[in-house]
Amino acid sequence: MRESSADWVALSPRFTPGWPWPEDSYGLGPMYGEDGWCRGCGTPLVEQSGALVIQGSKFPGAEVWMPNWRYDVVCVSAGLAADIAGRFAVELGEVHQSRKGPTGVKQVLPAQTVEPWHPPGDLARAVRARHGEFEGDRTGSFCGQCGRWKWLPVSENEAPIVGDALVSTSDVLASPEVFGDRLKSFRHLLFRRPLGEALVAACPRNWEVIEVEIA
């Protein structure tokens, strides 16, 4: 069955607490391995296989949170993780604290889809609408080290999404397109509406549901 705008939502945090460790890899080393991410553009080159590690003593205490730097990472408390694991089709990963190890907090792991989500022309127009005045009409860049294209940042709701590209049994998906500038790199995320609304309900002061256009 073709997906519609009623089926999926994006989420937007009002602030991002916690800093991934180590700083010199923006937290990518533990998550993807030292050879699993590009040092030229900060883009992961393989699927995530390790834990998110958060540095310092101020470990986030919210029920749902997104760390700085990693804008396609959503974490949930141990109690909420147990709840959503029983109700939704989600994979959960470990979240560690540097020098202390596992915390009980879990990362909601999105399923990586294959087909592009956004028609390139629509996405280019969305990027220009946001960045053109400041970036000289540049829409993104190729990395000289890994050869991958990265779009300048826009949100999930700024360009239409192709419904036929959302092929997965998971309730949370990650786009094949990558966004960011310099060493910032992230994917778009979509949540099936019941899961997205459950996450926002668990932490309404910090999160909001973003409606998306699925064509």
Contacts of 204 (CB under 8 A, 6+ apart): none
Q: Three-state SS for 151?
A: strand
- 130/134 Cα distance (integer angstroms): 9
By C-alpha distance, which of 158, 121, 113 is closest to 139? 121
The pLDDT tens digits of the residues spanning 167-200 come to: 999 999 999 999 999 899 999 999 999 999 999 9
Q: What's the mean pLDDT when you consider all of the chain? A: 95
Instruction: Tell me what pLDDT residue 2 has.
Output: 67
- 209/128 Cα distance (integer angstroms): 24
- 55/115 Cα distance (integer angstroms): 35
Residue with tokens 């990362």: 107
The pLDDT of residue 135 is above 80: no
Contacts of 26 (CB under 8 A, 6+ apart): 20, 42, 69, 70, 183
The pLDDT tens digits of the residues spanning 11-52 come to: 999 999 999 999 999 999 999 999 999 999 999 999 999 999
The pLDDT of residue 1 is above 70: no
Other Cβ atoms less than 10 A from the Cβ of 60: the count is 20
Question: Which residues is 76 bridged to in the sheet?
Answer: 64, 106
Show the CA angle centred on residue 12, arms to residues 10 and 16, nearest 5°. 140
Instruction: Tell me what pLDDT residue 6 has.
Output: 87
Torsional sign, CA 36, 49, 117, 125:
negative
pTM above 0.85, yes or no: yes
- 39/51 Cα distance (integer angstroms): 19
**Least confident segment among 21-25, 55-59, 145-149, 151-155:** 55-59
Question: Which residues is 97 bridged to in the sheet?
Answer: 54, 101
Q: What is the percent of the chain with per-residue pLDDT over 90, rounded to a whole number? A: 93
- 140/165 Cα distance (integer angstroms): 22
Residue with tokens 């973003």: 210
